[in-house]
Amino acid sequence: MNIANAIPEPMPAGPKGRKPVWLTVASIITFLFLYLPLVVVVLYSFSATKVNAWPIKGYTLDWYRELFQDEDIWDAVRFSTFIGIVAASIAVVLGTLTAYALDRYRFRGKPLIRFAIGMPIVLPGIVTGVALLAFFTGVLGLNLSRWTIIIGHATFCTVLIVNNVAARLSQLPRSLDEASADLGATPLTTFRRITFPLIRPAIVAGAILAFTLSFDEIVVTFFLTGREKTLPLLIWGRLRRGISPEINAAATVIILVSLVLVLASYWFTRKSETN
């Protein structure tokens, strides 16, 4: 259009140069919509009154004191941590094997396998939950326990590891494997000495996300839990009786822990990419 501009300017003249105000405003409102509820929870965890009313009448750390003395909460935290670690570990094994096979072999049915692995996270969680409940108790006649939860969680966490590891594997040149074989390493040694160290950060990043997902999960867990309660289940149970500032305190801690985990996972992903 602009004849004077025979040689197009690189970027600044492009659409990035123009910033419609409404777009920025809309984006800021969206951020508020995403974060305001979280901010509310954090703020009211310090509220001195038992009722979540506006404005906050005073501030206290009592709820945190109460929270940290709450044995049920601690039991639930320990239980959820155990579930998360075991489920993430199983998912790491299943997911790494799958990602490696998908990346290194040519075979038919790859989209089908990807779809099958992704199903538990694409289909509503309630489906996984009741299907496993019916399977364990109805078909196999087992009692629900921590192991039924772990199996459920590992099943929907696997896809996270597959995605993380497959992305990393696809960045690795195949010639690294070949160079290792060329220098006399058997396939197993090549995996141990070359491939695994290179995908390890991606595995760790995926494992942290899997743990986070497991730790926060409630929809599937509800159907698979035995007598012991995970942290989300405990909180949900108490919420039905009404909101207390102690729960706000617990929620604040959960938000913080998630934040740390997500940052850690992000850090490992970056590390894996810069290696």
- In the region spanning residues 7 to 46, those forming contacts with another protein, defined by CB under 8 A, are 11, 14-16, 19, 22-24, 26-27, 30-31, 33-35, 37-38, 40-41, 44
Site for another protein in 160-189 (CB under 8 A): 173, 175-176, 178-187, 189
- Pick one of 100, 168, 225, 249: the residue that binds another protein (CB under 8 A): 100
Q: What single-letter amino acid sits at 109?
A: G
254 closest CA partner among 218, 221, 224, 212 = 212
- Residue 61 vs 179, nearer CB to another protein: 179
**CA–CA dist 1, 232 (Å, integer):** 59
- The contacts of residue 23 (CB under 8 Å, 6+ apart) are none
CB 88 within 8 A of CB 157: yes
Counting contacts by CB under 8 A, is residue 236 touching another protein?
A: yes
- Residue 227 vs 240, nearer CB to another protein: 240
**CA–CA dist 110, 91 (Å, integer):** 19
| Least CB distance to another protein at residue 88 (A) | 14
- Give the binding range for another protein (CB under 8 A) out of 58-66, 68-76, 81-89, 237-245: 237-245
| Least CB distance to another protein at residue 69 (A) | 21
Counting contacts by CB under 8 A, is residue 260 touching another protein?
A: no
Counting contacts by CB under 8 A, is residue 122 touching another protein?
A: yes
- Give the binding range for another protein (CB under 8 A) out of 65-73, 81-89, 106-114: 106-114
Counting contacts by CB under 8 A, is residue 127 touching another protein?
A: yes
- The contacts of residue 66 (CB under 8 Å, 6+ apart) are 246, 249
Residue 52, sorted as left (phi over 0), alpha (psi -120 to 50) or beta, turns out to be: beta
- Pick one of 142, 197, 226, 273: the residue that binds another protein (CB under 8 A): 197
- Pick one of 130, 144, 146, 264: the residue that binds another protein (CB under 8 A): 130
- The contacts of residue 243 (CB under 8 Å, 6+ apart) are 52
| Least CB distance to another protein at residue 79 (A) | 16
- Pick one of 62, 82, 85, 113: the residue that binds another protein (CB under 8 A): 113
ω into 120 cis (within 30 of 0): no
H or E, element range at 232: helix 231-240
Q: Is the four-CA dihedral 79, 84, 89, 90 of positive or negative sign? A: positive
Task: Provide φ and ψ at 32, rounded to 5°.
Answer: -60, -45
Counting contacts by CB under 8 A, is residue 61 touching another protein?
A: no
- Pick one of 144, 145, 258, 264: the residue that binds another protein (CB under 8 A): 258
Task: Provide φ and ψ at 47, rounded to 5°.
Answer: -70, 135
